[in-house]
Structure 1
Amino acid sequence: MSTTKYFVHPQALLESTQVGEGSRIWAFSHVLPGARIGAEANICDHVFIENDVVVGNRVTVKCGVQLWDGVTLEDDVFIGPNVTFSNDPAPRSKHKPEAPLRTLVRAGASIGSNATIRPGITIGPGALVMDGAVVTRDVPSNAIVTGNPAHITGYRDTPHLALAGSLSSDAALPQLQARGAALHKLPKIVDLRGALSFGEIGAHLPFTPQRFFMVYDVPTKEVRGEHAHKACHQFLVCVKGSVGIVVDDGERRDELLLDSAQLGLHIPPMVWGIQYQFSSDAVLLVLASDCYAADDYIRNYDEFLAAVRGAGNGH
């Protein structure tokens, strides 16, 4: 009586002994001896897995995928049909690199069919790579990327706030889910000479600015921000054009479009901020509560999450 706690199709070739309970290896797949596969993984037909590969728990690898040395798939990753990985940036016949570049697909990320992942790339937790995308650089957490080269088009599980009409009426601006972040309606005065918008400390600005900077001439596909501050408050106004903003408190996220000089966004400390989808004429004004200090920035999302959880535990 077999004591094997995982399934191997009779026409699969499994050479590894490091396979977790409940995993399934389907027909015509070949797993080399050094590979490690977690529990409840699903390795579909015609998949090849090399030696220096780690496949986490509950991972799905669909048909026609090759996982070469240096690839790690964390828990709950989905790899669609015919996704292509590589581990050598400049391959030549009979010239094997001393060590493969490491490619990491973080927990909960999904990669759609026929996507190509260049070597040495990290796909962030929860990210989504759309079908056929060519990923040439790291993908941030929860980002949705598409195209060749792949660029960010949105963020998963992030409500997009509809602000149309709220500035031209007496209706209150919508509340944000991200802890402490808030929208502010700024006055607008129009006469024959043009339009004027302003903000006053206390009435509109929730802090006294010590610094300002402007962001402009940003290529449409570029992403800025991607950090949180430990102590600094920021107030963002897009004085011309438009820019997409994501605010994230580690548990909840919001996405909105800043496209009016009447609309201000307050981002408090310990809220992750992202700016992307800049229009070609966008000018973003940022008022800050403190002068620049490099050690006030948290630029790594994992470190941000750890800091948020630590603060929540009273540490």
Structure 2
Amino acid sequence: MSFTVHPAGLCESAHVGAGTRVAAFAHVHAGAVVGDRVTLGSGVRVGDGVRLADDVSVGANAVLAGEEPGAAETVVGPGASVGAGSTVVPGVRIGRRARVAPGTVVTRDVPPNAVVEGNPARIVGYVDAGPDVADAGEVRIGALPASRVPGVNVLRITRADDLRGSLVAADFDQDLPFVPRRFFTVFGVPSSDVRGAHAHRRCHQLLVCVQGSINAVVDNGVQRQEFVLDRPDVGLHMEPMTWGTQYRYSADAVLLVLASDPYDPDDYIRDHDEFLAEVGQPAPA
């Protein structure tokens, strides 16, 4: 046997990878599939129809519920962790290297690298981009920090303030890094929801939060950084082949997005593993 099961644990599955460890009182059902080097803590239950990829960690007493009639497979991606006492409902997909905090109830898909907590789960940060990582903390954009991610730039937009109010303006062919051919706005987003979570093969984008605030995470396959967009005179320029995600929308947030190209569904990459493959980076372990 290339994996280990505590004498007080129960593993009924014939599909368990090398180096996996099943602790006392854990139960892996026959219909589960478990990858290599997976760690299942004491009292964990992995139900039928659950697939755990390589290097997944599941804390004590977490429950990954078995499949229900009509439910899709439950999948936990490579390198993800599910905290102690958490519950994952059937049909949910937890992305690569995502982190589920202890006691969380996961009822919807969790994007790659996201950090979630609560009941129901909500995104509170991103791995390697949030304030819990040394030297990679959340950066407030008001100070116009230098981007650490190649292909991402922070721009100051001309602003004028007087007793009559404020104005922000830009000449498309002089002040912006590209001439926009399309714009759209995003607003009315519940604070628990996530927008973006894709990359473009050819299209440049400029994000400007004209009201309220949002958090924007950018990723080029190697580096990741998080910005707070909370000023209408600051824009975040994302070159093609940059993965972008926006979350933590304030109740009044209005996000303006300027795009270099007309809408083209074939220009989108919506799967993070596909994005990593296209930028030539191996998927992180």
Q: Structure 1 length as normaliser, TM-score?
A: 0.83
Q: In the TM superposition, what are the counterparts of 1:27-66 in structure 2 within 5 Å? A: 27-32=7-12, 34-66=13-45
Q: CA deviation at 1:122?
A: 1.1
> Which string of whole-angstrom CA distances, capped at 9 and with x for unpartnered residues, describes residues 93-119 of structure 1?
xxxx5x874211111000001111001
Give, in angstroms, the shift of residue 202 of structure 1.
5.2
Kept in 2, the 8 Å contact 1:227–1:300? The answer is: yes
RMSD: 1.8
Find the partner of 2:52 among 69, 73, 78: 73
1:201 corresponds, among 172, 179, 187, to 172
Greater relative contact order (Cα < 8 A, sep 6+): 2
Alignment-derived partner of residue 82 in structure 1 = 61
Are 1:126 and 2:97 an aligned pair? Answer: yes
Q: CA deviation at 1:226?
A: 0.7
How has the CA–CA distance of structure 1 residues 83 and 248 changed in structure 2, closer, same or farther, with 3 Å as cutoff? same
How does 1:290-301 map onto structure 2 within 5 Å? 290-301=261-272
Q: Distance in 2 between matches of 1:203 and 1:125?
A: 40
Find the structure with the greater CA-based Rg.
1
**Would the aligned equivalents of 1:70 and 1:100 in 2 still touch at CA under 8 Å?**
no
Look up the match of 1:231: 202
Flag structure 1 segments of 5+ consecutive residues without an equivalent: 1-18, 90-96, 167-172, 311-315
Equivalent residues of 1:103, 1:120 under 8 A apart? yes
Q: Return the alpha-carbon distance in structure 2 between the equivalents of residues 235 and 100 of structure 1.
A: 38
SS of match in other structure, 2:175: coil
Please name the residue that 2:137 is paired with.
Answer: 160
How many residues align? The count is: 276
Q: Which stretch of structure 1 is more off in the superposition, 106-115 or 186-195? A: 186-195
Q: For the residues of structure 1 that align with 2:100 and 2:226, how far apart are their CA atoms?
A: 19
Report the secondary structure of 2:172's partner residue: coil
**Pair 308,228 (structure 1): closer, same or farther in 2 beyond 3 Å:** same
Aligned-pair identity in percent equals 46
User: Are 2:275 and 1:304 equivalent residues in the alignment?
Assistant: yes
Write the deviation string for residues 51-109 of structure 1: whole angstroms up to 9, x where unpaired.
Answer: 222222211100001222211111111000100122244xxxxxxx5x87421111100
Structure 1 residues 213-262: Cα deviation after superposition (integer angstroms, max 9, x where no partner): 11111111111011111111111111110011011111111101000011
The Cα offsets for residues 127-180 of structure 1, whole Å up to 9 and x where unpaired, read as 0111111111111100011111111111011133433662xxxxxx32222221
2:224 aligns with 253
| Contact 1:85 1:119 (8 Å CA) reproduced | yes
1:137 alignment counterpart: 108
CA contact (8 A) 2:50 2:67 kept: no
Compute the displacement of 1:303 (Å): 1.3
Counterpart-to-counterpart distance in 1, 2:86 and 2:234: 38
Compute the displacement of 1:35 (Å): 2.3
TM-score, normalised on structure 2? 0.91
Kindly indicate whether residue 4 of structure 2 is the aligned counterpart of residue 24 of structure 1: yes
Distance 2:179 2:246 in 1: 23
Distance in 1 separating the partners of 2:152 and 2:236: 7
After superposition, the C-alpha distances for 1:13-38 in whole angstroms (9 at most, x for unaligned) are xxxxxx42xx3221311122x42222
Distance 1:227 1:289, change over 3 A: same
Determine the C-alpha separation between the residues in 2 that align with 1:230 and 1:162. Answer: 26
The CA distance in 2 between the partners of 1:165 and 1:215, in whole Å, is 21
Asked if 2 retains the 8 angstrom alpha-carbon contact of 1:87 and 1:101, the reply is no
Q: Cα distance, 1:203 vs. partner? A: 4.5
| One-letter identity of the residue aligned with 1:251 | V
Distance 1:132 1:216 in 2: 31
Counterparts of residues 264-303 of structure 1 (less than 5 Å): 264-303=235-274
Query: Which consecutive residues of structure 2, in runs of 5 or more, have no partner in the other structure?
Result: 130-135
CA distance, structure 2, for counterparts of residue 182 and residue 272 of structure 1: 14
Q: Secondary structure at the match of 2:279?
A: helix
CA contact (8 A) 1:237 1:286 kept: yes
Q: Is the 8 A contact 2:139 2:227 kept in 1?
A: yes
Structure 1 CA distance for aligned equivalents of residues 25 and 75 of structure 2: 22
